[in-house]
Amino acid sequence: MKVQTFSIVIGDRKCDAHCPFCVSKMTGFCELPGNDLINEANFQKAARLAQIGGTTTVLMTGKGEPTFYMDQITRFLKLLQPFNFPFIELQTNGLKLGRLATQGTEGTHELATIMQWRKLGLNTIALSVVDVDHDHNAAIYNKDYPDLANTIRFLHKLGFSVRLCVMMLTGMVDSPESVARVVDFCRTNEVEQLTIRPIRRTAKRTSNEKVSDFVADNGLEEKSINEIREWVRQRGTLLFSLMHGAEVFDIDGQNLCVSDCLTVEKTGDDIRTLIFYVDGRLTYDWQYPGAILLGGRHNIVE
């Protein structure tokens, strides 16, 4: 059994963005624990399973916004050190980091914490966006959305690589021309990695019909997705294929991964993402409660 990514769910549902396509709202919050006490015994098991499965990437993510839980991120980074995973990423909407970049952070506790993350092995910041256009990001995430290029410069200055994760929806990034615009921005701003994926409804169950309806109304049609994929294949050079159909290309020197979300492999026993929650719950799919390997428990009586 191979495991592509070891995902660690940071914090609770707290978030400062207002994404109308929020995957967390569609898949629910019922599995989130009521406190941030880490079940270290189960974490050791989960990390070892990921290691045995050949995982090279740890993704620190959240049902809400992870940067609200900076101390917890630090604790997990310390727990990860003995396993020496090659790549450790933090997925974020970038609002807090962008504000720090704008306001200045010299001598602040936040800056010291972020620099500690770098020393503890965090190497990539994955910024979730809907576009490189400021107005589009402001309309989706928050009206005071910080300047994206400035956020990227700030992160580079601190020594991080940057992955831009573009959620494609109608009216924003929805065509080969708009993808080309994003590629040009990333090349200009020296973004190391770019991932594009269409927003999707959950396959079966949903915890929020309003969000599901938005996705149904604003998600790209398959024709548009195929046109984008064809443009990338014609314009770029395929470097390699990842598990579950994702493909990585070079387009005139810019890295571009064409991916999808919330997909389940129909055959084989490979795991796209191993998902760990702080109470020790270990699963392998965001949508299906039955995809569980370990249950989450706190306050176990010895």
Residue ranges of the domains in the chain? 3-294
The residues, any chain, with a CB within 8 Å of residue 13's CB and separated by 6 or more, are 24, 29, 32, 63, 64
Most confident of 20-24, 60-64, 105-109, 134-138: 134-138
CA distance to 77, 96, 116, 123, 157, per residue, from 105 (Å): 22, 12, 14, 20, 12
- The mean per-residue pLDDT over the stretch 32-39 comes to 75
Comparing 123-132, 159-168, 270-279, which segment has the lowest mean pLDDT?
A: 270-279
pLDDT of 28: 54
Higher pLDDT, 130 or 215: 130
pLDDT of 299: 53
For residue 29, pLDDT over 50 is answered with no
DSSP states along the chain: --EEEEEEE-S-S--S---TT-HHHHH-STTS-SS----HHHHHHHHHHHHHTT--EEEEE-SS-GGG-HHHHHHHHHHHGGG--SEEEEEE-SHHHHHHHHH--TT-HHHHHHHHHHHTT--EEEEEES-S-HHHHHHHT-TTPPPHHHHHHHHHHTT-EEEEEEEE-TTSS-SHHHHHHHHHHHHHTT-SEEEEEE----SS--S-HHHHHHHHHHSPPHHHHHHHHHHHHHHSEEEEE-GGG-EEEEETTEEEEE--SS---SSSS-EEEEEE-TTS-EES-SS-TT-EEE----S---
Most confident of 27-41, 106-120, 209-223: 106-120
Mean of pLDDT over the chain: 87
For residue 30, pLDDT over 80 is answered with no
pLDDT of 63: 84
Q: Cβ of 95: how many Cβ atoms within 10 Å?
A: 21
pLDDT of 297: 72
CATH architecture of structural domain 3-294: Alpha-Beta Barrel (3.20)
Token pair, residue 87, equals: 């790549």
- The mean per-residue pLDDT over the stretch 203-211 comes to 64
Token pair, residue 35, equals: 């406190």
Higher pLDDT, 200 or 131: 131
For residue 267, pLDDT over 90 is answered with no
Residue 299 — left, alpha, or beta (φ > 0 → left; ψ -120 to 50 → alpha)?
left
pLDDT band at 24 (very low <50, low <70, confident <90, very high): low
pLDDT of 23: 66
Q: Which residue has the tokens 């409804």?
A: 201
For residue 247, pLDDT over 60 is answered with yes
pLDDT of 91: 97
Nearest to 258 by CA among 169, 167, 196: 196
pLDDT of 271: 80
Comparing 30-34, 48-52, 128-132, 146-150, which segment has the lowest mean pLDDT?
A: 30-34
pLDDT of 177: 97
Convert the pLDDT of each residue in 127-153 to its tens digit. Answer: 999 999 999 999 999 999 999 999 999
The model's pTM is 0.89
